[in-house]
């Protein structure tokens, strides 16, 4: 009998407690529902998904360094870096929403399936509330899709394909890095000025999503300047020796070679092209030129002297002299003894932007974060006034046109800034044909 | 490009064909050298060595390492220049330049890749010796599948060690200034100027590999050591019964095969900047070369190396690609299938090899 009474009391008590517990979120928070991996206790976990093995491991390491630095700055350690120059002052150096920031890392291996697996593990096992980083568009598109399904925010790292914020855009995904269209829009006028408007271009293109969109972007932009596209040859991603693709360029009548290659492909194709004496050739009465539309300073170092005088574009470079860039280069340089790469920069900025959005939204709820990031205008992060456009979650900001330095003094200044292309010149409509076919869909908080 | 147009203009002109033959010979040189080493090991020790690509990569890193050793520097702070953080710039001067003076010091640095040949030979012989005595010899009696697994594992271990010390990025290792740029090859064979331009270093690479291949064949053909090894390849047991220590000779052959792969790697360094996974890129191709040439046949390996190199180059021509899209990615395997269907032992394979 007494046993029964105990049970009844327990039932009533626990019933009340559960009822109160269920009601609590609706009483104390603005949004009614819980969300995936809601941080409990005094910490919040971010997931950094970067290539730690494979050919992009060095670039991944640089991203990871920057992400660690961002976490330090968020937790009020170090000199604060770009927190001092960031136009939004919501972050106070006491973590995010008062919670200390910690992180876990995964290895993308620059393979879509491995990247999805490591992101999934960080979300499910480690309770990561967001995923940041990466060094390939194939990976970015794959992980972005996963984050959308799972219900966490994806802050893309180095991904330059138009598709990431074009046909494959997602409500939970955000890209700070620039894209192939912007490279074309920034490069074409500089190329026309340097090499004239009467040029015949031969493209070698890496045969995957990024290569295709970059080729299309550069061809369209240069054709608008009066250039003719003589040929576009797709090269297998696994190619190492490009000699048999470069030999036909010699007698094709082209006077410009455009290498839509990245990473190891770029290092090898550029080296091969220089070996074949293309840069010493005169065609159609003009000096033959080579262009590498997307530069990475790590890969430029791999190509050595072959990048000298070759034009390309970048999202950011440590030689910029604005206050934000100087602050970031200083704290990164003092910690790691080298200047940061542009992939490090974008991952660092993305981490701060995410944290700031949580602070402004007052929640880690992905849908709150999405709302806070959409249409967000900011400055002080190294690229001038920047807009996170609501329509496609793409950042619009100044872009850099670069050139291989003639007399580099060390492995870090192999590239020099030719021009900071103003944002207005690289903007496009959200429904531009190169970005068409995608829908953001609805934000997913994983509830 | 429309296929027909391809035939009419630039396509299939004599100069384009000669260029692709040169490219093919050049690619084939690397394939042939690696396949030669693979066949030597297979023929003598009966081991399928999947770590052979890693030996090629180690050869390239011998060139990288020598370049690094030669450019070991002392650092002087120069207050008149600033580094990226605004501190006084640290200027590195290689010891070698300060010891021998600017001209001689820089010339030695400049010739680091050819010098690396001398450096790589003892290093690679040693690597081969240690590999054979330390690991491979325990797998002579094991099935080929075990050998493949263990050597493949070894290849990954070697790769990761190299990555640990040198990073994942390619490391530029240029050829001497005298061999940079390209030569007007067309003029040499009676074409007009500027029709067939070919890089100096690639011609050097082809001649070098021809030399190494001839040296290996001469060694096996004209020395007593080579005769014993050839006898051992044909019938190991009988040679052993004659009181000859064939194992010792086979160990040396493993070292030589490693050195051949290593030299192929050293000379390849200026063609494409070495990185830790370059061996894997060559490994699969080299196996196809060995199979097409005929398991255990040295001339077969060399012949198939050049043949597949040339076919691969032609398959990359725009005119061919426009006729059969994607042919450049599959040509090697397509040829392998055709050869194996029509000549199951490969081009020059002998009866009884891998057929027990």
Outline where DSSP puts E strands in A87-227: 100-107, 130-133, 153-156, 173-175, 200-206
Report CB contact under 8 Å: A412, B84: yes
A234 found inside a domain = yes
Q: Is A264 on the interface with B (CB under 8 A)?
A: yes
Q: Which residue of B has its CA nearest to A57?
A: B168
Strands A282-283 and A415-421: unpaired
Q: Which of A314, A329, A362 is the last residue of a domain?
A: A314
A116 and A129 inside one domain: yes
Report CB contact under 8 Å: A231, B318: yes
Q: Which residue has the tokens 């021009």?
A: A419
Report chain B residues whose CB lies below 8 A from the CB of A58.
Answer: 167-169
A76 found inside a domain = yes
- Rg of chain A on CA atoms, in Å: 24
Strands A399-404 and A415-421: antiparallel
A192 and A160 inside one domain: no
Report chain A residues whose CB lies below 8 A from the CB of B1.
Answer: 231
A403 found inside a domain = no
pLDDT value of residue A12: 56
A47 and A154 inside one domain: yes
A1 found inside a domain = no
As given in the structure block, the two tokens for residue B334 are: 């397509």
The answer to whether the CB of A16 falls within 8 A of the CB of A24 is no
Q: Number of residue pairs across A and B with CB atoms under 8 Å?
A: 127
Q: Which of A314, A339, A357 is the last residue of a domain?
A: A314
Average pLDDT rounded to a whole number, residues A201-206: 96
What is the C-alpha separation between B321 and B324, in angstroms, rounded? 5
Please write the tens of the pLDDT for every residue from A432-443.
999 988 999 999
A14 found inside a domain = no
pLDDT value of residue A3: 45
Please write the tens of the pLDDT for every residue from A353-406.
999 999 999 999 999 999 999 999 999 999 999 999 999 999 999 999 999 999
Pick the closest to residue A225 from A270, A256, A249 (CA basis).
A256
Give SS3 for B141.
coil
DSSP letter for each residue of A217-237: HHHHHHHHTT-EEEEEEEE-T
Give SS3 for A40.
coil
Please write the tens of the pLDDT for every residue from B28-43.
999 999 999 999 888 8
Burial of A300 (C-beta count, 10 Å sphere; 0-12/13-18/19+):
buried
**Interhelix angle B278-293/B327-342, nearest 10 degrees:** 30
Helix/strand/coil percentages in chain B, nearest 5: 70, 5, 25
What is the C-alpha separation between B185 and B22, in angstroms, rounded? 10
Burial A144-159 (b: 16+ CB within 10 A, else e): bbbbbebbbbbbbbbb
What is the C-alpha separation between A368 and A26, in angstroms, rounded? 15
Who's near B217: CB < 8 A, 6+ residues apart? B298
DSSP designation for B135: T
Give the pLDDT band (50/70/90) at residue A95: very high
Q: Which residue of A has its CA nearest to B179?
A: A275
| A positions 29-58 inside 8 Å of B (CB) | 53-58
Cα B323–chain centre separation? 31
Q: Which residue has the tokens 């999947």?
A: B50
Report chain B residues whose CB lies below 8 A from the CB of A229.
Answer: none
Report chain B residues whose CB lies below 8 A from the CB of A272.
Answer: 271-272
Q: Is A222 on the interface with B (CB under 8 A)?
A: no
pLDDT value of residue A206: 93
Q: Is A245 on the interface with B (CB under 8 A)?
A: yes
Burial B117-147 (b: 16+ CB within 10 A, else e): bebbbebbbebbeebbeeebbebeeeeeeeb
For residue A280, give Cα distances in angstroms to A119, A212, B182, B234.
47, 28, 9, 53
If one counts every other C-beta atom within 10 angstroms of the C-beta of residue A113, the result is 11
Report CB contact under 8 Å: A302, B172: yes
| Range among A121-130, A408-417, B168-177 with highest mean pLDDT value | A121-130
pLDDT value of residue A171: 97
The answer to whether the CB of A389 falls within 8 A of the CB of A430 is yes
Q: Using CB atoms, which residue from B13, B167, B275 is nearest to A264? A: B275
Report chain A residues whose CB lies below 8 A from the CB of B19.
Answer: 247-248, 250
Q: For the domain that residue A114 is a member of, what is the CATH number?
A: 3.40.50.2300
> Mutate which of B273, B277, B319 to disrupt the A interface (most A C-beta within 10 Å)?
B273
A146 and A69 inside one domain: yes
Q: Which residue ranges in chain B fall short of pLDDT 70? A: 1-12, 352-356
Report CB contact under 8 Å: B313, A243: yes
A308 and A203 inside one domain: yes
| Residue B233 half-sphere exposure toward CB, CA atoms < 13 A | 21
A102 found inside a domain = yes
Average pLDDT rounded to a whole number, residues A249-257: 91
Q: What residues pair up with A203 in beta bridges, in sequence order?
A: A232, A258
A20 found inside a domain = no
Report CB contact under 8 Å: A240, B278: yes
Report CB contact under 8 Å: A277, B15: no
Please write the tens of the pLDDT for every residue from B250-283.
889 999 999 999 999 999 999 999 999 899 888 8
pTM of the model: 0.86
What is the C-alpha separation between A347 and A370, in angstroms, rounded? 18
What DSSP element (H or E) covers B122? helix B112-134
Please write the tens of the pLDDT for every residue from B199-224.
999 999 999 999 999 999 999 999 99
State the residue range of the domain holding A270.
Answer: 181-314
pLDDT value of residue B87: 79
Report CB contact under 8 Å: A238, B281: yes
What DSSP element (H or E) covers B332? helix B327-342
Report CB contact under 8 Å: A272, B272: yes
Q: Over 90: is that where the pLDDT of A17 sits?
A: no
If one counts every other C-beta atom within 10 angstroms of the C-beta of residue A27, the result is 7
A82 and A167 inside one domain: yes
Q: Which of A257, A282, A314 is the last residue of a domain?
A: A314
What is the C-alpha separation between A347 and A177, in angstroms, rounded? 9
As given in the structure block, the two tokens for residue A433 are: 């044909």
| A positions 225-244 inside 8 Å of B (CB) | 231, 233, 236, 238, 240-241, 243-244
CA distance B32 to chain A (A): 16
Report chain A residues whose CB lies below 8 A from the CB of B172.
Answer: 271, 301-306
Please write the tens of the pLDDT for every residue from A307-319.
999 999 999 999 9
Give the pLDDT band (50/70/90) at residue A40: confident
A370 and A309 inside one domain: no
A301 found inside a domain = yes
DSSP letter for each residue of B160-199: HHHHHHH-SS----PPPGGG-SEEEHHHHTTPPTTSSEEE
As given in the structure block, the two tokens for residue A375 are: 């249409």
Average pLDDT rounded to a whole number, residues A399-426: 92
Helix (H), strand (E) counts: chain A: 13, 17
CA distance A296 to chain B (A): 12
Report CB contact under 8 Å: B170, A267: yes
> Mutate which of A64, A239, A242, A243 to disrupt the B interface (most B C-beta within 10 Å)?
A243
Q: Which residue of A has its CA nearest to B160?
A: A53
Q: Over 70: is that where the pLDDT of A110 sits?
A: yes
| A positions 103-142 inside 8 Å of B (CB) | none
For residue A354, give Cα distances in angstroms to A104, A148, A376, B189.
16, 16, 11, 64
pLDDT value of residue B132: 92
pLDDT value of residue B189: 85
> Mutate which of B22, B170, B179 to disrupt the A interface (most A C-beta within 10 Å)?
B170
If one counts every other C-beta atom within 10 angstroms of the C-beta of residue A14, the result is 11
Who's near A166: CB < 8 A, 6+ residues apart? A179, A213, A392, A434, A435, A436, A437, A438
What is the C-alpha separation between B342 and A170, in angstroms, rounded? 52
Report chain B residues whose CB lies below 8 A from the CB of A333.
Answer: 84-85
Give the pLDDT band (50/70/90) at residue A141: very high
Q: Over 50: is that where the pLDDT of A26 sits?
A: no
The answer to whether the CB of B294 falls within 8 A of the CB of B350 is yes
Report chain B residues whose CB lies below 8 A from the CB of A296.
Answer: none
């Amino acid at each position: 009998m007494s046993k029964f009474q105990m049970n009844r009391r327990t039932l009533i008590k626990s019933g009340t407690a559960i009822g109160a517990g269920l009601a609590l979120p609706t009483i104390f928070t603005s949004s009614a529902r819980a969300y995936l991996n809601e941080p409990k206790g005094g910490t919040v976990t971010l997931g950094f998904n970067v290539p730690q093995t494979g050919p992009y491991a060095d670039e991944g390491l640089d991203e990871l360094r920057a992400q660690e630095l961002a976490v330090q700055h968020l937790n009020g350690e170090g000199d604060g870096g770009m927190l001092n120059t960031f136009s939004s002052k919501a972050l106070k150096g006491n973590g995010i929403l008062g919670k200390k920031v910690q992180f876990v890392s995964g290895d993308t291996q620059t393979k879509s399936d491995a990247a999805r697996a490591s992101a999934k593990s960080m979300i499910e096992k480690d309770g990561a509330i967001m995923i940041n980083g990466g060094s390939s568009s194939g990976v970015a598109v794959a992980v972005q899709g996963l984050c959308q399904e799972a219900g966490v925010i994806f802050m893309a790292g180095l991904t330059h394909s138009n598709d990431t914020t074009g046909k494959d855009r997602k409500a939970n995904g955000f890209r700070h890095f620039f894209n192939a269209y912007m490279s074309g829009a920034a490069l074409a006028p500089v190329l026309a000025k340097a090499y004239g408007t009467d040029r015949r271009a031969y493209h070698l293109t890496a045969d995957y999503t990024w290569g295709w969109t970059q080729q299309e972007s550069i061809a369209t932009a240069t054709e608008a300047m009066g250039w003719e596209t003589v040929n576009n040859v797709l090269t297998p991603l696994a190619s190492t020796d490009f000699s048999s693709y470069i030999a036909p360029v010699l007698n094709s009548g082209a006077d410009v070679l455009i290498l839509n290659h990245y990473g190891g492909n770029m290092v090898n194709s550029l080296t091969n092209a220089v070996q074949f004496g293309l840069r010493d050739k005169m065609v159609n009465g003009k000096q033959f030129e080579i262009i590498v539309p997307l530069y990475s300073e790590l890969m430029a170092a791999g190509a050595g002297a072959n990048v000298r005088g070759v034009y390309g574009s970048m999202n950011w470079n440590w030689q910029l002299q604005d206050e934000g860039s100087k602050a970031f280069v200083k704290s990164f340089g003092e910690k790691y003894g080298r200047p940061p790469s542009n992939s490090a920069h974008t991952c660092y900025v993305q981490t701060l932007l995410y944290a700031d959005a949580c602070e402004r939204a007052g929640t880690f709820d992905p849908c709150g974060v999405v709302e806070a990031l959409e249409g967000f205008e900011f400055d002080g992060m190294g690229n001038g006034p920047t807009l996170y456009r609501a329509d496609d979650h793409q950042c619009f900001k100044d872009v850099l046109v670069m050139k291989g330095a003639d007399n580099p003094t060390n492995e870090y200044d192999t590239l020099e800034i030719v021009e900071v292309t103003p944002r207005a010149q690289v903007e496009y409509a959200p429904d531009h044909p190169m970005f068409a076919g995608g829908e953001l869909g609805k934000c997913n908080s994983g509830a | 490009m429309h296929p027909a147009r391809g035939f009419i203009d630039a396509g299939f002109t004599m100069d384009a064909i000669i260029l692709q033959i040169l490219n093919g010979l050049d690619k084939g040189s690397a394939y042939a050298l690696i396949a030669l080493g693979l066949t030597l090991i297979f023929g003598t020790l009966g081991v399928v060595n999947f770590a052979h690509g890693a030996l090629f990569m180690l050869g390239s890193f011998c060139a990288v390492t020598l370049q690094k050793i030669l450019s070991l520097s002392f650092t002087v702070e120069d207050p008149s220049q600033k580094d990226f953080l605004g501190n006084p710039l640290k200027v590195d001067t290689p010891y070698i330049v300060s010891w021998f003076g600017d001209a001689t010091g820089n010339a030695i640095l400049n010739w680091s890749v050819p010098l690396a040949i001398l450096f790589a030979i003892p290093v690679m012989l040693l690597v081969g010796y240690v590999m054979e005595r330390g690991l491979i010899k325990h797998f002579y009696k094991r099935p080929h599948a075990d050998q493949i697994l263990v050597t493949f594992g070894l290849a990954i271990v070697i790769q990761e060690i190299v990555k640990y010390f040198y990073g994942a990025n390619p490391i530029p290792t240029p050829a001497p200034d005298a061999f940079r740029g390209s030569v007007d090859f067309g003029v040499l064979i009676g074409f007009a100027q500027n029709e067939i331009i070919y890089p100096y270093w690639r011609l050097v690479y082809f001649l070098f590999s021809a030399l190494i291949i001839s040296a290996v064949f001469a060694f096996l053909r004209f020395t007593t050591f080579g005769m014993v090894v050839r006898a051992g390849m044909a019938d190991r047991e009988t040679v052993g019964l004659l009181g000859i220590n064939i194992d010792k000779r086979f160990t040396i052959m493993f070292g030589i095969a490693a050195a051949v792969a290593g030299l192929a790697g050293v000379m390849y360094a200026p063609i494409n900047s070495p990185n830790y996974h370059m061996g894997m890129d060559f490994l699969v191709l080299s196996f196809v070369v060995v199979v097409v040439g005929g398991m255990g046949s040295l001339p077969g390996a060399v012949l198939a190396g050049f043949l597949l190199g040339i076919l691969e180059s032609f398959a990359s021509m725009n005119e061919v690609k426009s006729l059969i899209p994607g042919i450049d990615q599959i040509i090697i395997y397509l040829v392998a299938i055709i050869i194996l269907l029509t000549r199951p032992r490969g081009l020059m394979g002998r009866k009884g090899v891998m057929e027990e």
